[in-house]
Structure 1
Amino acid sequence: MAKITTIIDIGSNSMRMVVLQKSSRFAFHLINETKSRVKISEGCYENGGNLQEIPMNRAFNSLKSFLNISKSLKAKKVICVATSALRDAPNSKVFLSRVKKDLGLNIKVINGEKEAYYGGVAAVNLLHNNEFVTVDIGGGSTEFCFIKEGKIEKSISLDIGTVRLKELFFDKNNINGAKEYIKKSLEKIFELEIEIPSVVVGIGGSIRAISKAIMKSIDYPLDVLHGFTYEVSKNKKLINLIIESKDSDKLKDLGIKKDRFDTIKEGTFIFNTILEELKTKKVITSGVGVREGVYLCDILRNSNHRFPSNFNVSVRSLLDRFETDGNQSAYYGNNAAKIFEALKPLHNLEDRYKTLLVIASKLHSIGTTLNYYKVNDNTFNFILNGLNYDFLHSSRVIVAHIIKFSKKSLPTRKDMEIYKDLLPSFETMQWLSFMISLNLTINQDFSKPKVQYLLEDELLTIKMPEYSFIVESSLDKLELPKNLEIKLVC
């Protein structure tokens, strides 16, 4: 597998490219993302599905620029896929032949089921959830992939894209016709006779635009789309406001960007109808889709398109790029788990917090690559934006706060105010911050001591193999959670 790979996705409305760099066998990170609203399917649905000359030229010129970017970034592999517009167009070979001849690029036209599958692979590997249906609204079609118990159960594609419905119905002011067309198309899902999850993972530009508007409306503290979750019932009013907006000024006020004005009402109408018909309760926003699915199918081709169990691509990628000593990182992770288990009778926290404590302990020092001073603050900001995949928003915020208050006094309620809706209880955060502080204190000289932790009533005895003045003096300065005492013995 190439170290740097370019994935290009030619959709009916937008052409998108990601350039991804591997850092180890399964870990990777994004080094470029480019989008061009070429609207290759513009005018085709009114002309027998045939691609028109001007949109094809836009797409060709954008592809040329994409390949220039890819070459500059030294990508050794380029995979280009095309979806609804090219698979539906009777004259698609004209465009495909020109691209191959003039640009030397082979475009793989994928069917709807494969497109849905790629979205499912991306979501099941890069989002923290095991049961959902992906909904990927494009310009020409919408794809659905059903995931149950972490496995892809079924994939299907329906011809209900934003550009298609705009030309067939909305431009003719036939809203009722559009509604009936969508509902009729959705009957194919119910004919599958599978259980429909109450959770939708939303993929595509229209759905991301809706999520951004919701985030703005509630003053959401974290500026991250991937993994943003909301309840449908609490946001129906805003969704309807987007659909009913009469002009671009109103859309702008709702938080919709200018480049979405042309299809956002159609996209929101489609999504709202799907949510109603599928009786969806919760939506998880996905920042990944077909492109990432294509890439994952390539690097995971020998493992059934799934990461190994307990593997987190974001954590591994950060450690690959920024950790200074893998042995130290492993020690901090193991020692964090030991401390958590020893203190469990007192803190009574769920095991998921142990996982987050271990991750925070492994990642705590990556901010030193930016600047040694203010390392905790550096890492805090880095983690909020750097744990891109497989993390709930609450999880990344918790990890960031654990690190921020390591080797410091315990956090106060004021310290948690901005992100309080994404954080657990005040007492939980105090325990987690203390445990990472204790972990870092024990290994101050990087000797990786073999330590035993023994809890009796409210006294934690720390047995070290040999005396360390620096550890003893630092332990005396630690702020302890309520009702805990510690004693060092050697």
Structure 2
Amino acid sequence: MKLAAVDIGSNAIRMQITSVTQYEGKISFKKVEYLRFPLRLGLDVFNHQKISDTNRRKFIKLMKAFKILIDLYEVDDYMACATSAMRESVNGKEIVFEVKEEIGLKINIIDGNKEAELINKSLNKFFDEKTYLHIDVGGGSTELNIYKDREKIASRSFQIGSVRALQDQVAVPVWNSMERFVRKHLENSHSATAIGTGGNINKIFELSLPRKNKRYLAIEKIAEVLNRLESLTFEERVNKLNLNYDRADVIIPAGKIYLRVMQAAKSKKMIVPDLGLKDGIIQVLYERNLAKKPLL
């Protein structure tokens, strides 16, 4: 079985094609293709409320390329999900319709709660009887989910993201609202373990030079990496740390969002599983197609 996930974010657009197989009773998910294109739709939408003609043309070309790959790999099922930038754009639905009519690729514009639900599909194995705070920071929004005894007890999406913060477009009341949400639901918890998803926290984890097989980051280590990043110019981040251009500017505001949420939660450490929306989409597709197509 081959499955494809398309994540249309505010800072970048990703596609992953995964092969699902079964051998000796064990299910395996193997990534066979992964593409990330830095089309920053959020810069258009958060400043001008619509996707520009230039980026609209680029977006349609990119969707054509994705559809060709989906066909070439003979994918059994796919799902394309658009998040904050597309759902806030006044011409987002119009572009989605154009893609469906011209290319035959269906795009779902999802809200923050659905986005969080899909991401959480890939995180279930990390939960036990303890308290966990899942933080997913995107370009346009931050999704927070709180778990106790393996059950989700609270979930909320906030219009706080790395691209918005870079443009200084997050109002103080929104920050305060996010912190109140965290404190309200964790007031009786001594210390929740954070789980961080998103491209920027994965890069911060990589820059922390973690020990082999360790997927944890102490809050002090996150602060240390951010201090190092802030001491460098944009050009130094690109050339000395080998960051992509579209990562080198947003990684600092994104890191500060993770830190602020952790501080509100009095969280001392974060699990960084290197999973995200695309992985949750693959899980949903697998469950939906399991009865239809037997695994090899």
The alignment's TM-score, normalised by the length of structure 2, stands at: 0.85
Which residue of structure 2 lines up, in the alignment, with residue 209 of structure 1? 203
Where does 1:376-395 land on structure 2 (aligned, <5 Å)?
none
What letter is aligned with 1:8? V
Deviations 1:197-239 (A, max 9, x none): 5211111111111111101xx6x346xxxx6212113442222
Work out the CA distance in 2 between the residues paired with 1:167 and 1:185: 19
Conservation of the 8 A alpha-carbon contact between 2:182 and 2:265 = no
Aligned match for 1:4, one of 2, 13, 35: 2
Work out the CA distance in 1 between the residues paired with 2:285 and 2:216: 29
Aligned match for 2:175, one of 179, 182, 196: 182
User: Once the 2 structures are TM-superposed, how far is the Cα of residue 243 of structure 1 from its aligned partner?
Assistant: 3.7
Change (3 A) 1:243 1:86: same
Change (3 A) 1:281 1:302: farther
Work out the CA distance in 1 between the residues paired with 2:163 and 2:102: 28
Change (3 A) 1:100 1:260: same
Deviations 1:302-345 (A, max 9, x none): 99xxxxxxxxxxxxxxxx99xxxxxxxxxxxxxxxxxxxxxxxx
Conservation of the 8 A alpha-carbon contact between 2:226 and 2:252 = no
Work out the CA distance in 1 between the residues paired with 2:69 and 2:117: 28
Gaps of 5+ in 1: 170-176, 304-319, 322-490
What letter is aligned with 1:156? R
Conservation of the 8 A alpha-carbon contact between 1:183 and 1:273 = no
Work out the CA distance in 2 between the residues paired with 1:130 and 1:74: 41
What letter is aligned with 1:281? K
Range 291-300 or range 66-75, more displaced: 291-300
The yes-or-no answer on 1:68 pairing with 2:83 is: no
Which residue of structure 2 lines up, in the alignment, with residue 155 of structure 1? 155
Which residue of structure 2 lines up, in the alignment, with residue 463 of structure 1? none
Deviations 1:64-102 (A, max 9, x none): 111222211110212111111111222212211111111
Aligned match for 1:241, one of 216, 223, 228: 228
Conservation of the 8 A alpha-carbon contact between 2:11 and 2:246 = no
Conservation of the 8 A alpha-carbon contact between 2:122 and 2:279 = yes
Which residue of structure 2 lines up, in the alignment, with residue 367 of structure 1? none
| Larger RCO: 1 or 2 (CA < 8 Å, sep 6+) | 2
- Corresponding residue SS for 2:68: helix
What letter is aligned with 2:217? Y
Change (3 A) 1:234 1:11: closer
Conservation of the 8 A alpha-carbon contact between 2:122 and 2:275 = yes
What letter is aligned with 1:29? K
Which residue of structure 1 lines up, in the alignment, with residue 255 of structure 2? 268
Conservation of the 8 A alpha-carbon contact between 1:20 and 1:32 = yes
Size of the aligned set, in residue pairs, is 287
Cα RMSD (Å) of the superposition? 2.8
What letter is aligned with 1:158? F
Work out the CA distance in 1 between the residues paired with 2:232 and 2:82: 32
Work out the CA distance in 2 between the residues paired with 1:58 and 1:191: 43
| Bigger Rg over Cα | 1
Change (3 A) 1:130 1:258: farther
Which residue of structure 2 lines up, in the alignment, with residue 460 of structure 1? none
- Corresponding residue SS for 2:90: coil
User: Once the 2 structures are TM-superposed, how far is the Cα of residue 290 of structure 1 from its aligned partner?
Assistant: 1.2
Which structure dedicates a bigger proportion of its chain to strand?
2
Work out the CA distance in 2 between the residues paired with 1:194 and 1:90: 39
Conservation of the 8 A alpha-carbon contact between 1:229 and 1:284 = yes
Change (3 A) 1:162 1:153: same
User: Once the 2 structures are TM-superposed, how far is the Cα of residue 36 of structure 1 from its aligned partner?
Assistant: 0.9
Conservation of the 8 A alpha-carbon contact between 1:8 and 1:15 = yes
Q: Structure 1 residue runs of 4+, over 6 Å off?
A: 177-180
What letter is aligned with 2:76? K
User: Once the 2 structures are TM-superposed, how far is the Cα of residue 242 of structure 1 from its aligned partner?
Assistant: 2.1
Conservation of the 8 A alpha-carbon contact between 2:7 and 2:14 = yes
Work out the CA distance in 2 between the residues paired with 1:11 and 1:249: 26
Which residue of structure 2 lines up, in the alignment, with residue 22 of structure 1? 20
Work out the CA distance in 1 between the residues paired with 2:280 and 2:222: 29
Conservation of the 8 A alpha-carbon contact between 1:119 and 1:289 = yes
Gaps of 5+ in 2: none
Conservation of the 8 A alpha-carbon contact between 1:60 and 1:99 = yes
Which residue of structure 2 lines up, in the alignment, with residue 115 of structure 1? 115
- Corresponding residue SS for 1:16: strand
Change (3 A) 1:94 1:195: farther
Conservation of the 8 A alpha-carbon contact between 2:87 and 2:109 = yes
Work out the CA distance in 2 between the residues paired with 1:195 and 1:63: 47
What letter is aligned with 1:103? I
Where does 1:24-423 land on structure 2 (aligned, <5 Å)?
24=22, 26-47=27-48, 49-125=49-125, 127=126, 131=130, 132-169=132-169, 181-192=174-185, 198-215=192-209, 220-221=211-212, 228-250=215-237, 252-253=239-240, 256-300=243-287
- Corresponding residue SS for 2:74: coil
What letter is aligned with 2:202? R
Change (3 A) 1:51 1:190: farther
What letter is aligned with 1:75? V
The alignment's TM-score, normalised by the length of structure 1, stands at: 0.53
Work out the CA distance in 2 between the residues paired with 1:251 and 1:71: 35
Work out the CA distance in 2 between the residues paired with 1:248 and 1:12: 23
User: Once the 2 structures are TM-superposed, how far is the Cα of residue 186 of structure 1 from its aligned partner?
Assistant: 3.0
Which residue of structure 2 lines up, in the alignment, with residue 405 of structure 1? none
- Corresponding residue SS for 2:43: coil
